[in-house]
Structure formats: C-alpha cells, structure tokens
Structure 1
Amino acid sequence: MKFDLATMNTFIPSDFELVREQGETDRLQLSNAVVRAIDTPKGWQVNAEYRGEFGGLFPVQCRYTPDNGENYTVCLCSPGEVSLVWLCIVIDGNGHLAQVVHQSDTLEPERVSQLLAQVSALHDLHSPAERVVTLLKQEVAV
C-alpha cells in the first residue's frame, strides 16, 4: 500500500490501527511516509517504530533525537487506540518528563517541522527539557 499525506489525513484512528494489524511491512511504509513528510533538523536523527521497539502504543511513533546526546526526545505519534489525534511529546533523557507539546486532528508537517526546529535551537542553547516544554506548551491548543 502506498501512503502519502493526503491519504493519511483522511484516516480515522481505526485506519491507523488496521495498518498496524496488517504487519511490519505496511507499518514501516506508513512510518516512512510520515518521516518523509517531516523535516528533520540538521544534527538530529529519526527512528520510526515498526515492531514495538518503543512499546507499541501507537501505530506510528517517530522519535527525533539530537546526534550529540539524548537530553530529550521528541516523539511524533499517530492517532489510534491510545489517542484520537496526532501528538508531539517531549520526553527527557531520563524518561521522567513526558509532555504533549502539540496535538492536531491531521498530520501537519509544516507545524511539526517548525516545532522540531524550535526544539533543536533550544537544544543548541543547552536548554533543559523542562524549559523546552514550558516554552512549547505556551503554544499548545488543548
């Protein structure tokens, strides 16, 4: 199955779960489509779950981390059983802090890319995860 932004943005949560149930190949293709849609900041890497490496809570979970240390991670998570919306979650390097910093009904590549760029800039300034969350949560519409 081929996935693109237009198709993914017509999916309801159960559609994402159906892709997950179809197996690793389809799940990987879906995750790769999400990765292609988002601009990863220079000096950062992205890893997409397709087997359950990150706990398997979301049909799509992409983890963005800086190359020079995991002070924090930004997780982009799809709708599914756990959440009815797309989520961006900041998790600190110790796993003690996990906060939603963005949510939306559809995948918003421009907004997610902008958020990642903001986190990257704050990381370059050695801002702790708590400060990053505080600054970004000011923009979250809940």
Structure 2
Amino acid sequence: MVSGSVKSEPGFEPKLDAELHGVGYDYIHNDADGKNMRLDVRSQVKNNDGTVFAMYYKGTVALTPGVQAILGGGADAHTTPYGDSFVTFSFETGSEAYKELQNGTYVAAGHFVTNEEGVKGVVVEYKVSRVVKG
C-alpha cells in the first residue's frame, strides 16, 4: 500500500480527512481452495489537523472472475461491484480528540476500481459503517 485516503461522511464525528502516512502493510494470502483471499492490513494515517493514528482492517475478498481479472492485470478488467470484499476496521490513537474511534466497531464493503477516467492502476475503495447500539 503506497497511498490512500480516509474521508468521513458529513456529520460524522470525529471528522476524518486523512492520508496514508508512511508505508502500509498488506498481509494477504489465498485460501487453499482458491476461492477467497484473506486480508490483514496495517497502516498509519495523518488527518488534516496533523493527528496521526493507526488504522487496521481484516477480512476476505471473494476471488470472483472480475476480481481475478483485475488482480491478474487482464485487459478486460473493469470495476467490480461492491460485495466481493468485506472487512472490519479498527483504529488506535493517543489523541483525546479521536479517542472515540478506538471504541467503535466498523464494518465495510469494498470493491476494486480500474480502467475509469482519472484512475491510474487499481484502487480499492471501501464504504465503512459504524455499528451502533439500536
């Protein structure tokens, strides 16, 4: 992982408008049956106010034909729909302003974006939701 951003929806607190800070680590392996990949991603992000915090996510990616085309660099590769990748996010920080991030439970659906205007290479995009008590 060499670049990335985290931007919260309007109204979410604490507000996030952060960029990857340093190098992220992707620990990825395929299941023996070749049907899924397992993700364990560890990174640091720096918010626009200068606060640095750790961000982690773990989950699975279904190795559908569309995902395989993207990961294999296929000429026919195109953006995949949401639903092939599901992860959980967690955060760590020493900042009181962002401490509540550590106490939340976050789930996300992801997809791969490629061969679209303005996109270089492959982008992984997640829609993240906070699980709240009903």
Of structures 1 and 2, the one scoring higher in RCO (CA 8 A, sep 6+) is 1
- Would you say same fold, with TM above 0.5? no
Return the TM-score normalized by structure 2: 0.32
Which one has the bigger helix percentage? 1
